[in-house]
């Protein structure tokens, strides 16, 4: 008897070769799923998407050259119906919300089981959203909280890199008092007691990269 026809084509995007190989094997063993391409960063993901037009893209977030969030935007600009499943180790609610707003359909963590991964791919191919349970809890915990503005995220990223308020002000061409005001707002929004704690919270929630 002939094998059932593969019905869902998948593009795997991850910068770690071992992870790509493992996902490839886990997906291709399923009778209805087929890996049609791999990419190691966002730029390759866009190229492969154009060449392969997969039903589902399984996409990491932290990658060189073009990260996952930029890749989501680029692929969705090509195809507004693209089904993109984020597959990452970062559960932060801000990062999740951003990915979903950009057009990702689902969000999985790399701690997911093989069955959870293939089930999410099948669901995505049908337009059904799947959110990891830990991710969902984080989103529920921070529901209604005020997000950081782009400028506040810029300031926080520079604080993470060890810059003083004065140095940040000079780089952003604003007064030091303006930076102090931003820091005060950041600390308040994140419920932190001081700037270093704010950085740790912002990284955990996904407002800035680790």
Q: Break the chain into its structural domains and give their ranges.
A: 8-141, 150-205
Return the closest-CA partner of residue 95 out of 127, 131, 124. Answer: 131
In the prediction, which pLDDT does 1 show?
42
> Quick one: pLDDT at residue 28?
93
| CB-CB contact of 58 with 116 (8 Å) | no
Confidence of residue 44 (pLDDT cuts 50, 70, 90): very high
Can you give the pTM of this predicted structure? 0.88
Tokens linked to 51: 């060449």
Spatial distance between the Cα atoms of 49 and 29, rounded to a whole number of angstroms? 22
Q: Which long-range contacts link 127-130 to residues 24+ away (Cβ below 8 Å)?
A: 127/83, 129/105, 130/85, 130/106
Q: Does domain 8-141 have CATH number 3.40.50.2300?
A: yes
| Furthest-apart CA atoms within the chain: distance in Å | 75
pLDDT at 209: 87
pLDDT tens-place string over residues 122-131: 999 999 999 9
Measuring CA to CA, how many Å separate 49 from each of 13, 46, 88, 207? Answer: 10, 5, 19, 28
Tally the residues of the chain: 210
CA proximity to 103, closest of 78, 136, 80, 137: 80
The pLDDT of residue 207 is above 70: yes
Q: pLDDT tens for residues 79-109?
A: 999 999 999 999 999 999 999 999 999 999 9
Query: From the CB of residue 2, how many other CB atoms can be counted at a distance below 10 Å?
Result: 4
CB 30 within 8 A of CB 10: no
In which band, very low, low, confident or very high, does the pLDDT at 5 lie, cut at 50, 70 and 90?
Answer: low
pLDDT digits (tens, 9 = 90+) for 11-35: 999 999 999 999 999 999 999 999 9
Q: Which residue has the tokens 């997906």?
A: 27
Give the per-residue pLDDT at 6: 72
Q: Which whole-number Å values give the CA distances from 7 to 48, 86, 106, 148, in the listed order? A: 19, 21, 19, 42
For residue 194, the SS3 value is coil
152-166 mean pLDDT: 95
What's the confidence (pLDDT) of residue 4?
55
Residue 186, pLDDT above cutoff 60: yes
The CATH architecture annotation of domain 150-205 reads Orthogonal Bundle (1.10)
């Amino acid at each position: 008897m002939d094998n059932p026809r593969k019905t869902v084509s998948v593009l795997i995007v991850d910068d770690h070769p071992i992870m790509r190989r493992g996902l490839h094997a886990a997906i291709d063993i399923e009778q209805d799923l087929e890996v049609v391409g791999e990419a190691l960063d966002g730029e390759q993901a866009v190229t492969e998407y154009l060449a392969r037009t997969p039903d589902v893209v399984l996409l990491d977030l932290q990658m060189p050259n073009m990260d996952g969030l930029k890749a989501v935007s680029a692929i969705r600009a090509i195809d507004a119906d693209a089904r993109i499943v984020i597959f990452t180790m970062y559960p932060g609610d801000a990062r999740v919300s951003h990915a979903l707003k950009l057009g990702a359909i689902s969000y999985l963590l790399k701690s997911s089981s093989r069955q959870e991964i293939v089930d999410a791919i099948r669901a995505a191919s049908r337009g059904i959203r799947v959110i990891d349970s830990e991710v969902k809890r984080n989103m529920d915990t921070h529901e209604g909280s005020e997000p950081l503005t782009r400028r506040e995220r810029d300031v926080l990223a520079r604080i993470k890199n060890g810059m003083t308020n004065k140095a940040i002000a000079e780089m952003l061409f604003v007064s030091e008092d303006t930076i102090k005001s931003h820091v005060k707002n950041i600390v308040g929004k994140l419920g932190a007691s001081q700037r270093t704690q704010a950085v740790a919270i912002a990284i955990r929630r996904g407002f800035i990269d680790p």
